[in-house]
Amino acid sequence: MILLPAEPLVFGEENGLMGWVHSAAPQEARDLGVVVCAPQGYDSLCVHWGLRLFAERLAIAGLPTVRFDYHGTGDSLGDDGQPDRVNAWLASIDAAVQLLKEKTGVRRVALLGLRLGAILAAAAAADRGDIEALVMYGPSLSGRTYVREQKALGSTRHPDDPVDDTGNPNDVLMAGWLITEETATALGKLDVAKLSKRPAKDVLILHREDFPLDERPQKNLAALGADVTAAKTQDWVAFMQDALTSKEPTRDFDTITRWLLARSKKAEPAKVARTVSAQLQGDDFTEEPLWFSSPSLFGVLTTARKTAPGKPLLLFLNTAANHHIGPHRSTVELARMLSGRGISSFRLDAAGLGDTPARPGRPQNGVYSMEATRDAEAAIDFVHARGFKNVSVAGLCSGGYLAFHTSARDKRVKAMVLINLQRFIWKDGDSLDVARRMAVPSTGTYLQRALQLENWARLVKGGVDVKLIGTALATRAGKLIRGRSAELLARLLGPSFETNEVPRGFLQMLARGTRVLLVYGESDGGLDELALHLGPDMRRLRGQPNAELAYLSGSDHTLTTHEARRHLLDLLARTLLRS
């Protein structure tokens, strides 16, 4: 059964929220609609793609569904450092319920929450008093427990990794996501086992299969008069992984769908007109979520209010299998800051990533795909049609791979920015274990760390993955020897004997006037790949006026610190305004 694509909409007070409406299959229409309350922070990156698939499943089953980004998260306006976050998130749920009713015509609503989203859904439902059913999938059952988990996870970083200094030692930072002390305090007051009002008549709790069962929440909810069903998840552990390795939890989705269908009945499909998406309005930009290319691709266009000369636009490409907001929402932050300098941008989800469904024959969450260059070129076609002729492309890690190959194919690219690129060349059959090895710093960094006594102590205690590091360094050494041999041959016999397609591609781009910027953290593992193909410090492009190599101090692989992102912002603006 084929449905219309989800309808991206801007909604809520002052149109500050971003959401998607999945309309029900008309022949299966039910009287119950679903609002999905996603998790927060890193969890949201892991499951965004899966929640899209689940919303599509529910819609096919006849249950119209809304997904949304809380205020200060995802594509919505605001940020995680603002005050009164918990009330803002609860208000976001209320607005999503209203959106569901207005856009689908349903009057009975179920909330489906994951992790922190389950606590927020329960609190919002208890405050409202009109929610028919509540599903808590893999829930964090108290805000205090959730904050404690995030703090523990944040402390597992390597001692040498940079970390933001928020000025408050009680703030919690985990992989670039911030929970301020005020937010942590407010979350600490949320506890499903201590709710004083029934959130819904029917409640389904699917406790995590990897955690011991905590019966206090269902006992409290039952005491409040709710009909509670409790069970264990079957696929949670495989689902709650990095999006690159995450697996669709089909058994859990089936369980939840059957439970919701049992609490709904057939109904006449509502006759509600589909509308053109509104725009998010920021201080320096307007932002439009949209489908394009017939429609088969999703993206978010950020248009600067005051455009710089030449009307530059930067196309952001997916990092690994993360959706278009980027690691720790960095792409959203960069896009909106660039607008303040007169630079527009477009955040693309290539096919099979984020909010763009996979095409037949292409995998879900597939990366390092040459076919994705066609998606990037379709995005360039689209923004050209919108009047943006000065288009540059940028990508982090695997996004850099896609940016490189798109720029090599498409002569319309004015500038190319590659950030912490790990692989220039990818061959069928190559192992995606590169996703783990990308966390291994450069060989030079390990030589420096070998001289530090504290790292030998970590080795003795088992705090170092010797096998992973050894494999990565041995692989790099072999590649470097082969790369240096090819470089020597080209130097002796001339450019026409260049066998390495990477420097050849760079030289062709530079010859046609494309500006090139490569950006690396000072210890990033991708520096070995750079040396392999272009020589240390990019010496094979030495003398090329439009080629630049820049290093980010105080940066890790995904630029989790604000200092690194501000430095990158300056580099991006300088490069694009010259193009």
Listed residue (381, 382, 384, 375) closest to 403, CA to CA? 375
Which range marks the domain in which residue 287 is found? Answer: 280-440+500-578
Res 157: pLDDT: 73
**Domain contains 19:** yes
- For 277-309, b where at least 16 C-beta lie within 10 A, e where not — what string? bebbebebbbbbbbbbbeeebbbbbbbbeebbe
**Domain contains 272:** no
The pLDDT mean for the chain works out to: 90
Euclidean distance between CA atoms 43 and 140, whole angstroms:
12
Mean pLDDT of 208-213: 92
The count of domains in the chain is 2
Same domain, yes or no, for 410 and 294?
yes
Same domain, yes or no, for 252 and 316?
no
**Domain contains 163:** no
Same domain, yes or no, for 430 and 320?
yes
Please state which of the ranges 93-107, 138-152, 462-476 shows the lowest mean pLDDT.
462-476
Euclidean distance between CA atoms 64 and 260, whole angstroms:
12
**Domain contains 363:** yes
Res 543: pLDDT: 92
Res 455: pLDDT: 54
Same domain, yes or no, for 207 and 334?
no
Backbone angles phi, psi at 570, to 5 degrees: -60, -40
- Helix ranges (H only) for 314-397 are 330-339, 372-385
Same domain, yes or no, for 227 and 348?
no
The model's confidence at residue 429, banded by pLDDT at 50, 70 and 90, is confident
DSSP string, 226-274: -EEEEEE-SSHHHHSS-TTT----HHHHHHHHHHHHTT--B-PPP----
Please state which of the ranges 296-300, 451-455, 502-506 shows the lowest mean pLDDT.
451-455
* CATH code of the domain covering residue 21: 3.40.50.1820
Mean pLDDT of 137-161: 89
Last residue of some domain: 261, 290, 317?
A: 261
**Domain contains 521:** yes
Last residue of some domain: 226, 261, 296?
A: 261
Digit-coded pLDDT (tens) for 25-47? 999 999 999 999 999 999 999 99
Res 438: pLDDT: 46
Same domain, yes or no, for 236 and 307?
no
The model's confidence at residue 10, banded by pLDDT at 50, 70 and 90, is very high
Please state which of the ranges 132-136, 157-161, 352-356, 517-521 shows the lowest mean pLDDT.
157-161
DSSP string, 264-278: --B-PPP--------
Euclidean distance between CA atoms 206 and 393, whole angstroms:
42
**Domain contains 215:** yes
pLDDT at 343 over 90: yes
Q: Which residues pair with 68 in a beta bridge?
A: 19
Q: Which amino acid is at 350?
A: A
Are the C-beta atoms of 526 and 575 separated by less than 8 Å?
no
Res 456: pLDDT: 46
Please state which of the ranges 187-196, 363-372, 471-480, 568-577 shows the lowest mean pLDDT.
471-480
Same domain, yes or no, for 39 and 92?
yes
Same domain, yes or no, for 43 and 109?
yes
Q: 434: part of which helix (H) or strand (E)? A: helix 434-437
Euclidean distance between CA atoms 413 and 576, whole angstroms:
11
Digit-coded pLDDT (tens) for 439-463? 456 455 544 544 555 554 554 555 5
Higher pLDDT, 21 or 461: 21
Higher pLDDT, 160 or 540: 540
Backbone angles phi, psi at 490, to 5 degrees: -65, -35
Q: How many CB atoms lie within 10 A of CB 69?
A: 23
Mean pLDDT of 343-363: 94
**Domain contains 158:** no
Please state which of the ranges 2-6, 423-427, 538-542 shows the lowest mean pLDDT.
2-6
Same domain, yes or no, for 573 and 543?
yes
Res 497: pLDDT: 47
Euclidean distance between CA atoms 59 and 5, whole angstroms:
11
Digit-coded pLDDT (tens) for 515-559? 999 999 999 999 999 999 999 999 999 999 999 999 998 899 999
**Whole-number Cα distances in Å, 220 to 205, 214, 217, 225, 341:** 13, 11, 5, 9, 53
Res 468: pLDDT: 56
Listed residue (349, 316, 560, 321) closest to 416, CA to CA? 316
Residues constituting the chain: 579
Last residue of some domain: 233, 261, 289?
A: 261
**Whole-number Cα distances in Å, 577 to 303, 391, 414:** 15, 11, 11
Euclidean distance between CA atoms 314 and 393, whole angstroms:
6
Same domain, yes or no, for 23 and 71?
yes
Backbone angles phi, psi at 355, to 5 degrees: -95, 0
**Domain contains 414:** yes
Same domain, yes or no, for 363 and 245?
no
Mean pLDDT of 461-487: 57
Euclidean distance between CA atoms 385 and 406, whole angstroms:
18
Mean pLDDT of 207-223: 94
Same domain, yes or no, for 203 and 73?
yes
